[in-house]
Amino acid sequence: MSRRETASTIAARKVDPRGRKVKILATVGPASSSPDMLERLFKAGADAFRVNMSHGEHSVHGGTIKAIRALEKKYGRPIAILADLQGPKLRVGTFKDGQAVIRHSGHFTLDRNPEPGDETRVCLPHPELFGILEKGQRLLINDGKIRLKLIRASEDEILCSAEVGGVISDRKGVNVPDAEVPIPALTEKDRRDLAFAVEQGVDWIGLSFVQRPEDLAEARKLIGARAALCAKIEKPMAIRRLHEIIEMSDGIMVARGDLGVELEPYEVPPLQKKIVNAARTAGKPVIVATQMLESMIENPTPTRAEVSDVANAVYDGADAVMLSAESAAGEWPEDSVDMMDKIATQVERSEDYRARVRFLDTPPDATTADALSHACMTIADTVSISAITVFTSSGSTARRVARERPDTPMLVLTPSSKTARRVALLWGAHAVVTKDIGSFEEMIAKGKRMALRHGYGKAGSKLIALAGVPFGTPGATNLLHVVTLTGDELEKHGA
């Protein structure tokens, strides 16, 4: 960068859109936390970064967040940061020899005795589980590698038969898929991590272990308006009240890894589609996560099945697709992002993409804002439109337009860097931070200027401008205007 080049000139210069509508969320870890690698991931196609609070110290995460913000400043593009909370972890106690072998079809007891366990029993240091479990329910240990079926339970012990036995070692995780576990979604560690994350100015908080809409209440209270709240759907119990959870959240993550532990593998794909469709219908961003390009942790190319998996999420209209260990700890982080970018771009260029991404009927709510957002898509389908320019302070208008999944690119103009960063996870949105508008004439002039600067349009191109009057009032979308770019304007703006 030239020493004469200021931050304002960097922010003002043209930043090309990605050329695709689905967004890429890359997890940061040991393989990708250096400023150099973060920049390489960004240039390869990452639109947002996930900071996994389950691992690492606050000082390390703080350095990562600072590096991402420096990257954002250098390239003049808003970048979303999602801080993913660990959530409560149910674990068994310890064993006399560090491990034991549970026999297939044998009996095994989980109890409250703190003494080290053996091949017949082990401590389960979670008193809230005793008394709520019933005969026939399952307990899965070590990511489902050991599967126990409950025979009987009391206040002091849980007797199980081993449907699938094997080696069990100290403090392995326990999943209880058939019961609603009466523990809050936030632990003390989560509260500390959340406080740190919002102080650092992250844009999204990912909440784990969501089972019911009430689980979001405490996190929402602690966050306030400082960040958006993403509910991770990783527990089968959450599906029972999915629509309420979506209503209480700002976005949804389909956490397929954890879902796949508590469900049979063949149950996850239709459930993924159900969650994506429900979030899309509600107009909330939805992220498909976990094991998307899993083999690229070790290999430079993915399997054909993994490519199809990513492609299906794009065809289903997910707002974002996520890389986990592939970018956090794998040997090919940059290649993983590049591959995901190429898959998504190729899918969106396919002939049947438009029909498939719009298969879901999302009728507008009975509001002026929804009616106008729906009209944007109708106009763009009827008349050749080069861009939908959305003026928004809160991002709600952009979410309404994105809900329709229009073919036309969406240029989101906002005076709020916070809003621009959150929008970085929204389908089809290219956000630009710019000064607020104060009049209709200023809106039209700025819409044209920004469209030209960012490569949306040429002489004769038509733009849709969507905004609210009075300007700067959140939630007041009530104005739609179609304008035409002229040759004089192209010459004036040097385009």
pTM of the shown model: 0.92
CATH number at residue 153: 2.40.33.10
Range of the domain at 443: 368-492
Q: Are residues 389 and 241 in the same domain?
A: no
Q: Are residues 37 and 127 in the same domain?
A: no
- The number of distinct structural domains making up the chain is 3
Where would I find the H helices in 45-180? 58-75
Is it true that the peptide bond before 35 is cis, omega within 30 degrees of 0?
Answer: no
List strands edge to edge, sheet with 410-414: 429-433, 410-414, 385-391, 462-468, 477-484
The C-alpha angle with vertex 296 and arms to 291 and 298, in degrees rounded to 5, equals 115
| Residue 111 lies inside a defined structural domain of this protein | yes
CATH number at residue 484: 3.40.1380.20
From 282, 317, 349, give the residue that closes a domain.
Answer: 349
- Residues with active-site annotation: 50, 91, 232, 290
| Residue 354 lies inside a defined structural domain of this protein | no
- 495 residues of the chain, pLDDT tens digit each: 333 333 333 333 345 678 899 999 999 999 999 999 999 999 999 999 999 999 999 999 999 999 999 999 999 999 999 999 999 999 999 999 999 999 999 999 999 999 999 999 999 999 999 989 999 999 999 999 999 999 999 999 999 999 999 999 999 999 999 999 999 999 999 999 999 999 999 999 999 999 999 999 999 999 999 999 999 999 999 999 999 999 999 999 999 998 999 999 999 999 999 999 999 999 999 999 999 999 999 999 999 999 999 999 999 999 999 999 999 999 999 999 999 999 999 999 999 999 999 988 888 888 888 999 999 999 999 999 999 999 999 999 999 999 999 999 999 999 999 999 999 999 999 999 999 888 899 999 999 999 998 989 888 899 999 998 887 677 678 899 999 988 666 556 544
Q: Are residues 286 and 170 in the same domain?
A: no
CATH number at residue 290: 3.20.20.60
Cα–Cα distances in angstroms (integers) from residue 88 to residues 85, 107, 186, 240, 447, in the given order: 9, 27, 7, 20, 47
DSSP strands (E only) in 398-468:
410-414, 429-433, 462-468
Q: Are residues 197 and 230 in the same domain?
A: yes
Q: Are residues 457 and 309 in the same domain?
A: no
